[in-house]
Structure 1
Amino acid sequence: MTKAELVEKMATDAGISKTAAAAALNSFVDSVTKALKKKDGKVTLVGFGTFAKLRRKARKGRNPQTGEAIKIKAGNVVKFRPGKKLKDSI
C-alpha cells in the first residue's frame, strides 16, 4: 500500500477529505519522527505495535562484488515490534 492509497483509505473510512487525511498522516509521521529523535525514543501504539530507536555498533562487512572487507559505521536504526492484536490478525 502506498501513501496515496493509505490517504484515500483513511479519507473514506473517516468520512473526511483527502486533504485532511493527508494532513493527519503527515502529522502522525512527523510526531513519530520527532519522538524517535529523542535520546530514548520510543512510540507505543497499544494493539498495533512499538517503534523504538536502537543504536547499532560499528562492525565489519564485505563488499559483495569484490569480497573486500569494509568498515560499517555505528548508527541509529528504527525497530518495529508488532503488538498482539496485529500479530493475531495476520
Structure 2
Amino acid sequence: MIKSELVQVIANRNPHLYQRDVEMIVNAIFDEITEALCESNRVELRGFGAFSVKNRPPRTGRNPRTGEAVEVSEKWVPFFKPGKELRERLNEA
C-alpha cells in the first residue's frame, strides 16, 4: 500500500472528512514521526510497533564488482520493531 492508497482508504471509511483533510492528517503524522526520529526519539504506536534509530559504526566493505575494499562511514538508520498485537495478527492461521 502506498500513501495515496492509505489516504483513500481512510477517506472512504470517514465520509464526513474531505480527502484533502485526510491527506493533511496522514502527512502530519508521518512528519511528526520523522521529526521525532531525527531527534533520536523513539516513537511507539501501541498495538502496532515502535520506531527508533540505530547507529551503524564505520566499517570496511567490499565493492561487489571489483572486490576492492571500500570504507563505509558511520550512519544512523531507522528501525521498526512490530508490536505484540501486530505479530499475532500476522501469524493467525
What TM-score results when the alignment is normalised by the length of structure 2? 0.90
Residue aligning to 1:86: 86
Q: Report whether the alignment pairs 1:74 with 2:74.
A: yes
| Percent of residue pairs identical | 37
Amino acid at match of 1:29: F
Structure 2: tracts of 5 or more residues without a match:
none
Query: Structure 1 residue 67: deviation in Å?
Result: 1.0
Amino acid at match of 1:37: C
Residue aligning to 2:33: 32
Query: Structure 1 residue 37: deviation in Å?
Result: 1.4
**Residue 25 of structure 1: SS of its match in structure 2?**
helix
What TM-score results when the alignment is normalised by the length of structure 1? 0.93
List per-residue Cα deviations over 1:24-62 (Å, max 9, x = no partner): 110001100111111x41100010000001111011111
Structure 1: tracts of 5 or more residues without a match:
none
The number of aligned residues is: 89
